[in-house]
Chain A
Amino acid sequence: MWKKYYRSATLTVFASVFIAAPPVFADEFTDADLKKWQAEFQSVVAEGEKLFHSHLGSNAVGCDQCHPNGSDTHPETYPKFQKQLSKVATLRDMINWCIENPAEGEPLALDDPKMIAIEAYLTWERRGEKLDPGKH
């Protein structure tokens, strides 16, 4: 009798997992997922836009003063040889360079959420431009 009960229970579990419930695959997502993820990204872009138009250093100078709409930052060209640094640099290196020099501030950690937000804003404002790594 117990055996019978177990068999029945196993079948029920099997049915609920493989038949009654829809199959779940790791790489499938819905339109709702896409909207949610895009919204997450845009919220980080918006945070980056806010930071970019604030004073990240000590001298009341904002990034947008030289780079309205993030222009003339060329995120699509990084990493590239930055002649003034004598090395191949990333966009984040240059963001920190600007914070430290024209804005006279302290550099951000490369994985600081603020750094990622600024990078997201700059790349978003340059969307559609083809990747051109290394271009000066």
Chain B
Amino acid sequence: MTEKSNRRKFLKQVGTLAGVSLVPMSLVEIVWGKESSEKFTFAYISDSHLTQIKGTQFTTNFDDGLKRAVTEVNFMSPKPDFVVYGGDLAQLGKREEIDHGLEVMSGLRGVDVKWVIGEHDYYLDLGDYWQQKVSKLNYSFDHKGVHFVVLCSILTYDEWMDKWPSAEVRMGQMARLDNPQGSPFMVKDPQIEWLKKDLEKIDNSTPVVVLSHSPLYKIFKPWNFWTEDAEKVQAELQRFDKVTVLHGHVHQLLYNQIGNISFYAMMSTAWPWPYPTTYTQQQSAVPKLTVPMNRADPFAARDGTGWGFIDLDSGRANHHYGLWENPSRAVVFKGSQPEDSQFQDPAKQIPPQKHY
């Protein structure tokens, strides 16, 4: 199914809604037919950062983003097989925030959610409430010929975990992105061992999709666009012919290729992060491959947030980024790497992509 035909169906369904051309969807379509030529779709929603102000009062702007995404996933046609949630449902890991997030997400009709935990969900109680109410931290599943692995990639050094006077302080420290007292994300050896065992039974030709919160490579340590032991995880994935990593955390359009692994960031429903290159005091390694999304307009509250749409044609990913308040972007796998279908050629790039 093409994006165009999908959108046409979608637009037909919601034609009565105002501003329908701006409505985002986050649909990931897998067209993979090694054994069964069955194609299927899944949607993702990520980084909603629902924030409790007090009592039952939550930050409206962030609630609006998640509600909008949920509404639009419900309009998907065909209905996605499942929905991935990419982490950071809560802002400060509070039960009230997680409960509120579950309540909004319960608006999704007739689809299972595959949950990925983010650091904002974890560092108050180390994932305790999440595991009680939401999901395991790491697990895998097979779906129509594709092996999916969910990792908890936001762990960190024990010494850092133990240095804070309270759980609230620890959560607050990890919640600050530009924290000089922060600590890098890690998958850690026990989970890497688990991954190794999980993948043992999987054939090299099976497409593998890894879902994590942090990018499983290294972009910018001061903001934790970074996984400390990423290379160890990548090493476990290298033997497969086709591997896609979908991650959250960075709140921006971002893609990269390392060896056989294609990396794509999920968009946030809450707010956009600037690209690390906009902070000129420290070096960053934003993938040269990525053509930035347009600089966000703060006057349009939903600008720079939104959704993505991927198909894994022949097991490689083509990602259609549907961006709220912006034209959609298609990043397609070409030859050996993902490339923007319209803007990869520097001569074709537009000022809003450069004016950071």
Contacts and interface: CB of A to CB of B under 8 A. Distances in A.
Contacts of B53: 58-60
B279 A71 contact: yes
Contacts of A59: 51, 53, 59-61
A133 interface: no
A117 to B, nearest CB: 17
A48 B16 CA distance: 47
Contacts, number: 65
Given A60-B53, A67-B274, A68-B178, A128 B295 contact: no
A93 interface: no
Contacts of A125: 279, 281
**Which of A68, A98, A135 gathers the greatest number of chain B CB atoms within 10 Å?**
A68
A102 B301 contact: yes
B273 A68 contact: yes
B272 A66 contact: yes
Contact of A53 (B52, B176, B297): B176
A61 B297 contact: no
Interface string B26-62: 0000000000000000000000000111000001110
Nearest to A59: B59
Contacts of B296: 66, 72
Interface string A73-103: 0000000000010000000000001100110
B356 A72 contact: yes
**Which of B177, B222, B297, B298 gathers the greatest number of chain A CB atoms within 10 Å?**
B298
Given A69-B281, A71-B278, A102 B61 contact: yes
A102 B65 CA distance: 14
A72 B278 contact: yes
**Which of B272, B281, B295 gathers the greatest number of chain A CB atoms within 10 Å?**
B281
A126 interface: yes
A68 B59 contact: no
Interface residues of B, number: 29
A64 interface: yes
Contact of B178 (A64, A72, A127): A64
B119 to A, nearest CB: 14
Nearest to B304: A66
A69 B222 contact: yes
B307 interface: no
A61 B51 contact: yes
Interface string B269-306: 00111101011110000000000000111110100000
B356 A126 contact: no
**Which of B91, B274, B356 gathers the greatest number of chain A CB atoms within 10 Å?**
B274
A110 to B, nearest CB: 19
A16 B53 CA distance: 66
Contact of A60 (B52, B176, B177, B297): B52
A84 B297 contact: yes
B51 A68 contact: no
A66 B298 contact: yes
A6 B218 CA distance: 81
Interface of A: 53, 58-61, 64-72, 84, 97-98, 101-102, 125-129, 135-136
Interface of B: 51-53, 59-61, 91, 176-178, 222-223, 271-274, 276, 278-281, 295-299, 301, 355-356
23 contacts: A59-B60, A60-B51, A60-B91, A61-B61, A64-B178, A65-B177, A65-B271, A66-B272, A66-B273, A66-B298, A67-B274, A68-B178, A68-B273, A69-B178, A70-B279, A72-B274, A72-B278, A72-B295, A72-B356, A101-B298, A101-B299, A128-B280, A129-B280
